[in-house]
Amino acid sequence: MQHSVTFTYDDRQAQVTVPTNTLLSEAARLAGVEIGQPCGGQGRCGRCAIQVTGGNVRRRSTLRLSTADLEQGYALACQTVIEGDATIYVPPQEKIERRLTTDRVVAEVSVPADYDYLLCQTVRRLFVSLPPPSMDDQTDDWSRLQTALRLQHSIERLTCSLGVLRKIGPVLRQGEWQVTAVVEYTQPPDRSAARLIDLLPGRLDEYAPLWGCAVDIGTTTVTLWLVDLVTGMVHAQVAEYNGQIARGEDVISRIIYASRPGGGEELQQRVLETINGLLERACKRVKSPDAPLTPQQIVKVTIAGNSTMMHLLLGIPASSIRLSPFITVVNHLPPLTGREVGLAVHPEALVDCLPGVASYVGADITAGVLSSGLDNAENVMLFLDVGTNGETVLGNRDWLVTCACSAGPAFEGAGVVHGMRATSGAIEEVWINSETLEPTYRVIGGGKPKGLCGSGLISLLSEAFLTGILDKGGNFNLAAPTPRVREGAHGGEYVVAWGDETATGEDIVLTRVDVDNLLRAKAAIYAGFTVLAENVGIPLESVERVLVGGSFGKYINVEKAIQIGLLPDMEWSRFEFLGNTSVKGAYYALLDWRKRERITHIARRMTYIELSADNTFYEAFTSALFLPHTDLNKFPSVAEALSRTHKKSEEEAPYATRADTNLS
């Protein structure tokens, strides 16, 4: 029996007549309508989702569709057959991608609803009018200013550095005794004690921006947000590899390097250069109506980062962090200034280094816990920082336990041959057609690919495993019928993009060494949270939500992360991907002294569990060094996906055909 199928796409229509049980994807092909099928029509990728706007179809599988999707008429073209006349809407590919992933990725940063500059901010701009001196009133400038700030702004105890004292005389006269003071309330919410950061001539527009920045110093990546403290708005977000990476990929090798003569100073300079470079870049992104914004205008900096990064930034010897019993020199740093730290910001800027908990649980985690909201949760939640150090926090508003494991920088694109950060040119998602073994990928920014970022590596690893390119031990199947799997310099490798498609002209490949690094990284993280949960006797199943932080790409695919065994096999709805929770926590602390205090409170009440102290962690780690795990029972959804793929492969003779086009 023949049926008429009408496709609507891009404001156009196409019609075709096909027999009963024809796949919608086949009907589309016949109608000349292009529908993406990166997984090769296996119902794995969900990219062929279309909307059935009328008629009669049957969905064989609804694997990647939610109830809401189904209510809106969505169906997978490769898994749906025609049973009568039908009208079909083909959404733009972009919309599909967004639908599939947006609900799991970090939202654009929004200013906290409760942010009120006048109430929350410790750095403030105050206008002061002073009576000019005369022969009858020869009070010195500093006393005159102190008195004016006391009478006009209730500041009883004003302090300032020699640097500021040097400028007040000229500024008072230049402003003809009308000046704007930039002050920091040192004991909020008390406003009677303040430090003078700067003094500017004249009266500044009350709503002119007052610049601050939030920084996360990751072992691999440094992220910086430039913020207007008046509105709370983030005006620029920039990130760059930590310049220290050339001197060791993980904290241990950095500490060893820092112990060499001059090594500590070199690492300190390297990260300062990274941050100062980011400051320049961020400032350039701000379009100023008057003079261009310079880093020297930044008057408050809040810094998160792991304990080693914090020590190295500040030139504090970190060697005791590495040696048993693993002691930091300092967890709660005093308030510092831009000058002291060596940042290119205002020399008197407040530099607030957030507090850490222990050698391997630093301020990135306390900030992350704050921004995830874990410390306020009623039910037990799990917070994972998928970064170089792989920290985990389990708890709720009543208790918090934490541990750390050395995951390495693979998920940040470092320590991987063609790895890169999640910036323009990075492949952030990969699909491999299980028949042809040809890949489809999406590049951030849409141009030619330059390399693979963390999320791209996760989906590539998962796809290679599901399509049989990699076995569960991470070995390449060199017999796979595709020139893309080949013998490389360090064992097997898979070509994701040939040189003629790439920005560099070089093949982009995933090597055996890369796979090993990725396996170690994901195994460390998985072992970390499972051992922590066991340790406190909380079954993973009873964890209400899993909050995942890390410098991933913009889109994260939870299914892929489960398939490689990085995340526990749970309903997807229990995962929340929060992006860089560390910089976000620093941003919240930058804005609001109450949140800053909450981080101190988090640091003080978090219990650190030392994983190196027993063998449990090592056992869990080695068991997790597989795709997805030695024990497939822990990953039922992956077992099912595998059985589905293999069944299909048997039915359809995999590797028999090759796709002739790359769909990307």
Query: What residues make contact with a copy of itself under the rule CB under 8 A?
Result: 133-135, 137-143, 159-162, 165-166, 168-170, 173, 314-317, 319-320, 324-334, 336, 340-341, 358-359, 608, 610, 613
Nearer to a copy of itself, 208 or 613 (CB): 613
Burial of 649 from C-beta contacts in 10 A (0-12 / 13-18 / 19+) = middle
Provide the minimum distance between the beta carbon of 168 and a copy of itself in the complex, in angstroms, as a whole number. Answer: 6
Closest contact distance (angstroms) between CB of 583 and a copy of itself is 23
Residue with tokens 């002294």: 593
How would you classify residue 576: left for phi > 0, otherwise alpha for psi between -120 and 50, otherwise beta?
A: beta
Nearer to a copy of itself, 329 or 538 (CB): 329
Give the total residue count for the chain.
664
Query: At closest approach, how far in Å is the CB of 125 from a copy of itself?
Result: 22
Structure-block tokens of residue 306: 């792991």
Q: What span, in angstroms and rounded, lies between the C-alpha atoms of 96 and 77?
A: 13
What is the nearest approach in angstroms of a copy of itself to the Cβ of residue 244? Answer: 18
Report how far residue 372's alpha carbon sits from residue 377's, in angstroms, rounded to the nearest whole number. 9
* Min CB(315)–a copy of itself separation in Å: 5
Closer to a copy of itself by CB, 261 or 334: give it: 334
Instruction: Give the E-state strand segments of 499-549 in sequence order.
Output: 508-511, 545-549
Cβ atoms of 316 and 342 closer than 8 Å: no
Of residues 138 and 661, the one with the C-beta less far from a copy of itself: 138
Considering the complex, state which of residue 260 and residue 647 has its C-beta at the smaller distance from a copy of itself.
260
- Least Å distance, CB 326 to a copy of itself, is 6
**Cα–Cα distance, 463 to 403 (Å, whole number):** 30
Q: Which is nearer to a copy of itself, 610 or 652 (CB)?
A: 610
Closest CB to a copy of itself among residues 134, 542? 134
Q: Report, in Å, the least distance between residue 403 CB and a copy of itself.
A: 13
In angstroms, give the least distance from the CB of 371 to a copy of itself. Answer: 23
Distance of closest approach, residue 161 Cβ to a copy of itself, in angstroms: 7
Nearest-Å Rg of the Cα atoms of the chain is 28
Q: What 3-state class would DSSP assign to 105? A: coil
Kindly state the smallest distance separating residue 173's Cβ from a copy of itself, in Å. 7
- Residue among 463, 456, 461 at smallest CA distance from 434: 463
Triad 430, 435, 438: Cα angle to 5° = 40
| CB of residue 611 to a copy of itself, shortest distance in Å | 12
Whose Cβ is closer to a copy of itself: residue 356's or residue 413's?
Answer: 356
**At a CB cut-off of 8 Å and minimum separation 6, what does 607 contact?**
399, 400, 401, 402
Nearer CB in complex with a copy of itself: 336/538: 336
DSSP count for the chain of H helices, then E strands: 19, 27
Distance CA 528, CA 565 (A): 13
Residue 292's Cα: distance from chain center in Å? 29
Provide the b/e sequence for 152-188 (b: ≥16 CB within 10 Å). Answer: ebebeebebeeebeeebeebbeebebebbbbbbbbeb
Q: Whose CA is closest to 581, among 374, 309, 282, 413?
A: 374
Nearer to a copy of itself, 170 or 483 (CB): 170
Shortest gap between Cβ of 133 and a copy of itself (angstroms)?
5
Looking at beta carbons only, is 397 or 604 nearer to a copy of itself?
604
Concatenated DSSP letters of 131-151:
PPPBTTB---HHHHHHHHHHH
DSSP 213-224: EEEEE-SSEEEE
Nearest-approach distance from CB 478 to a copy of itself, in angstroms: 46
CA distance 647 to 395: 41
User: What's the token pair of residue 574?
Assistant: 């229990």
When the beta carbons of 204 and 316 are compared against a copy of itself, the nearer one is 316
Residues 220 and 388: beta-carbon distance below 8 Å: yes
Question: What is the C-alpha to C-alpha distance for residues 55 and 83, in angstroms, rounded to an integer?
Answer: 8
Q: Which tokens hold the place of 193?
A: 């004690």
Instruction: Considering the complex, state which of residue 170 and residue 473 has its C-beta at the smaller distance from a copy of itself.
Output: 170
